[in-house]
Amino acid sequence: MRIVRSFAAAAAGSVLAAAGQPASAPTQPRPYNAPDPNQVICEKHQVTGSRLAVRRVCKTRAQWADQRLQDRQDLEKVQTQRGIAGDD
């Protein structure tokens, strides 16, 4: 009986000590069911000049999203410059 009381007192003490400390909140809360931007995703890319060689590229979800954005911006830049240069 004495062991149960001391265990209960220790458990209550740790709960009270934890309640006094501020909870560490995540830096940016994600919406429910949102994918983790730090999850690593690997994709297979065909090596130019070879029919069989494949290269595996691994990046985080955030890095893949940034790469897609950069590729889209580069493509739009080339398309707008081509239209301007063709007016000569």
pLDDT at residue 52, rounded to an integer: 92
Q: For the chain, how many residues are written?
A: 88
Whether 12 maps to a domain, the answer reads no
Whether 75 maps to a domain, the answer reads yes
pLDDT at residue 4, rounded to an integer: 46
pLDDT at residue 42, rounded to an integer: 96
Per the structure, how many domains does the chain have? Answer: 1
For CA atoms 63, 65, 71, 76, the dihedral sign is negative
Domain region containing 74: 60-88
pLDDT at residue 16, rounded to an integer: 46
Indicate the pTM of the whole model: 0.54
Whether 34 maps to a domain, the answer reads no
Question: Closest Cα partner for 37 from 62, 59, 57?
Answer: 62
Whether 33 maps to a domain, the answer reads no
Residues of the chain with pLDDT under 50: 1, 3-4, 7, 15-19
Alpha helices (H) along the chain? 2-20, 61-85
pLDDT at residue 31, rounded to an integer: 74
pLDDT at residue 73, rounded to an integer: 96
Do residues 42 and 56 make contact, with C-beta atoms less than 8 angstroms apart? yes
